[in-house]
Structure 1
Amino acid sequence: MPFTSATFLFVFLPLTIILYYVFNFIGKIKLNNLLLILFSLVFYAVSGLRTLAYLLVFIFIMYLSGKILSTFRDDKTKKGILIIFLTFITLVLCYYKYITFILELFSKDIKEFSIVIPLGLSFIMFEGISYLVDSYKNGVKSGSLVDVMLFFTFFPKIASGPIVLWRDFYPQIYKRKVSVDLFFSGMNRIMIGLAKKSIIADSLGVVVQNINENVTLGIDSPTAFFGALCYFLQIYYDFSGYSDIAIGVSRIFGFEFKENFNSPYTSTSIGEFWRRWHISLGTWFREYIYIPLGGNRKHVYLNLFIVFLITGIWHGSTFNFVIWGISHGILIMLERASRNNKWYKKIPSGIKWIFTMVFVYLTWIIFMLPSLKQAIIYYKSMFGVYVGDIYFTFEYFVDEKVLIIVCAALVGAFVGKWKIVEIIRQWTQNTKWGLIFSQIIYIGLFILAVWFMMNSSYSPFLYFQF
């Protein structure tokens, strides 16, 4: 059930909120937890009853795993058991995400083989690893079956995150509160996320799709550059919009999750970009991959390379994602090696920002296209090396509406560090007229977003595929 559907916005979410607040008035948080589990299961069941059954089996296995880990006192035994369970999760993830790719390497004809990847598989598996490791290493209780079910099924985060660590989620299961401030803060966040997705991301997604469908037929250079720019903006507004909605919905129910984006397109280095982009994924890799490998203590460059190689592989099973991950890893290593040099420190921040954005912009193209062959054709088209006759030029794909949306999206993506933004934010939070003005803007964006949503075909969130 997508967040940007009328069923979710006007039926499922309002009903869940009303019942939740009625139960909250009664003062039984356990009832609220059961209610959230029930509605979360309904939410997930929309993707298929078979995948729901798989999810329930996985949750029960995780619950038993946590209980088994808490039973043993010997560290060596516990560590061995932990490794067994982590191996199980890894094998399940690899099977669903990479079995088709592996079979293609050894056989060209796999038409009879098909596999349905459960919704949110990667995010669920990563949270499973967090559950086991935190229960083993960080002294967090493994919780009851209800606790574990709520953690894994909680519907705002189940499809595309943000990835929530067990040690951050568990304390909120029975010690969270709702308030008027949290409710309206959550609603505002939902409206912002919906506007990002429906107005900007989906509009640009149509342009990207139309251009990509003509890549192998031949597109001119301006079209290729503009298509890459649209995707550069689409993927940010699509995923950050989803995160805004997920965080907003969670806030309404009293859960506080960490931010997943922090103006990544204002970064002056790739390292900074990854501290601002998909923050929950970066946090997970740092806690459960980078630090266990040795972190900053030993083999720093090798550890960084491994993390970004796995990051690329996690996003997809084609060579595009591997190359994308490796390219970011190499630049991260080069930045790490250069950051204390005088010549690097003397480079103006504006130059660093331009270089970072150009690198991100160009590497998103590998991420955007399904095959390396298409990516190479796209790069050639950008620089005037065309593969065929150009039947459709820039004017065919772009109109005034698209240009206005692109300009608005560029402003929104790059204003994060502007002082005027913080001044306006303080004004809307600390003054009556500022609060009224902001609510008018939010409601206006929501109405416009719903209008866009109703007048366009369904476009799933990009990160559903991961």
Structure 2
Amino acid sequence: MASPTAARGGVLAALTGAGGRALAWLEMYRHFLVLYLDFTGYSDIAIGSGLLFGIRIPENFRWPLVSTSIQEFWQRWHLSLGAFIGTYLFKPIVRQTGKPALGIFLAFLFVGLWHNVSIPYLIWGFGHGAALAITMMLRKAGAFKTTSALAARAMQLGGWLFTISFVSFMSSFANQGSLEGPVLFIRSLILN
């Protein structure tokens, strides 16, 4: 398991001027990988411990790093949280409004604040909610349909790169150690 400081994104902000943009991007991906490995590791320990006592705990992660869309990512990542979001946030909002895109957006705003009542986590929730709502609307409009096998493969590869970059960025952004951290983090990705 990683050290507690490794799970925080403060290292990213410190990279301004200390090695440039490439190191900042690598650190962003490393930060998310550490977060995933810690989280899935703890979940696997809980599953194994439960089995010692005859209790079957369901899997909480299903290979989210291979996801080719933000929607698929959330179908594979933190399944217990996903079930909670669907049951207690998304479905009641959709029943009230009749608008699934609005439901997912509002649900993720709440989830961002549930993680941490802070501006960076509110932005995290906004980002994930907006990405999911936009994906939902694009799928409904048929934007991801193609008849070419090569185009479909290119869309999968592009979708994977976008998804892993997006979730790594949002996670690293939200986990900065201070209020100025997110600004320094973005500067380290763009300006070095």
Secondary structure of 1:345 counterpart: coil
Match of 2:101 among 301, 307, 310: 301
How do residues 49-448 of structure 1 correspond to structure 2 at under 5 angstroms?
A: 197=1, 201-202=2-3, 205=6, 211-212=11-12, 214-215=14-15, 218-219=17-18, 220-294=20-94, 298-346=98-146, 347=152, 348-385=155-192
Q: For 1:244 and 1:261, how far apart are their aligned partners in 2? A: 9
Unpaired stretches in structure 2, ≥5 consecutive residues: 147-151
Q: State the Cα distance separating 1:270 from its structure 2 match.
A: 0.8
Q: State the Cα distance separating 1:236 from its structure 2 match.
A: 0.1
Secondary structure of 2:127 counterpart: helix
Kindly indicate whether the alpha-carbon contact (under 8 Å) linking 1:366 and 1:372 is maintained by their aligned counterparts in 2: no
Runs of 4+ in 1 over 6 A off after TM superposition: none
Kindly indicate whether the alpha-carbon contact (under 8 Å) linking 2:13 and 2:182 is maintained by their aligned counterparts in 1: no
Q: 1:213 to 1:337 in 2, by over 3 A?
A: closer
Q: State the Cα distance separating 1:296 from its structure 2 match.
A: 10
Kindly indicate whether the alpha-carbon contact (under 8 Å) linking 1:202 and 1:234 is maintained by their aligned counterparts in 2: no
* TM, length-normalised to structure 2: 0.84
* TM, length-normalised to structure 1: 0.37
Q: For 1:209 and 1:350, how far apart are their aligned partners in 2? A: 27
Unpaired stretches in structure 1, ≥5 consecutive residues: 1-196, 386-466
Q: 1:293 to 1:304 in 2, by over 3 A?
A: same
What amino acid maps onto 1:361 in structure 2? S
Q: 1:248 to 1:318 in 2, by over 3 A?
A: same
Q: State the Cα distance separating 1:244 from its structure 2 match.
A: 0.4
Secondary structure of 2:117 counterpart: coil
Q: State the Cα distance separating 1:279 from its structure 2 match.
A: 0.6
Aligned residue pair count: 184
Secondary structure of 1:221 counterpart: helix
Q: State the Cα distance separating 1:299 from its structure 2 match.
A: 2.1
Percent identity over paired residues: 32
Higher RCO (Cα < 8 Å, 6 or more apart): 2
Which whole-Å deviations, capped at 9, do the CAs of 1:141-161 have from their partners, x for residues lacking one? xxxxxxxxxxxxxxxxxxxxx
Q: For 1:231 and 1:302, how far apart are their aligned partners in 2? A: 30
Q: 1:341 to 1:246 in 2, by over 3 A?
A: same
Q: 1:266 to 1:320 in 2, by over 3 A?
A: same
What amino acid maps onto 2:186 in structure 1? Y
The residue number in structure 2 matching 1:94 is none
What amino acid maps onto 1:229 in structure 2? Y
Q: State the Cα distance separating 1:280 from its structure 2 match.
A: 0.2
Q: For 1:244 and 1:301, how far apart are their aligned partners in 2? A: 33
Kindly indicate whether the alpha-carbon contact (under 8 Å) linking 2:173 and 2:185 is maintained by their aligned counterparts in 1: no
Q: State the Cα distance separating 1:375 from its structure 2 match.
A: 1.3
* Higher Cα radius of gyration: 1
